[in-house]
Structure 1
């Protein structure tokens, strides 16, 4: 993995990536547009900002990044099946942590095939 997250000290980390790691600019936009910061705050359990506009902005950025991550996860399922030839059972076991959720993985796969961004 060429994108690296390095814990530097205390509650600090540094994220680095090369141009080849972000061909669509998703990483750069997530960082520069504050999506990543708001999503990390939400992940950490931070309370919603008291200011209504800030609260709405935080929710918008977190949700936008979550949608993008869901699309990228679906693209990974397509690659696991088509490139690596993994079984539905194996993909479900690892991705959804339940080997019996093969139909859910197949729906993800079908969604990925219909999508335009893989």
Structure 2
């Protein structure tokens, strides 16, 4: 079974200034996506999955390759019993990353009938 609150402990806020200090070049779109991602994390920790879904969709509008946000959106969908959408998100990450261990694990949990969040 996927436990949303347990899984959330693995997700940390991502701050644009910390990434630029490490030498990453961030566009305005990526910075906007990070802000929305962080808001979604906060909303999820407060039990507001529906608001988090909206924020993650907006984040992915700005930065479609943001696989951390795609995985988190998949968890939100699983938590709200939108299992087909959750599976689509995890499959998206699996096809776009060669080392998508986290998404594979979530998908396996869904396949074995342990999709309750």
TM-score normalized by structure 2?
A: 0.32
Structure scoring higher RCO (CA < 8 A, sep ≥ 6) equals: 2
Higher fraction of helix = 2
Higher fraction of strand = 1
TM-score normalized by structure 1?
A: 0.31
Q: Which has the greater radius of gyration?
A: 1
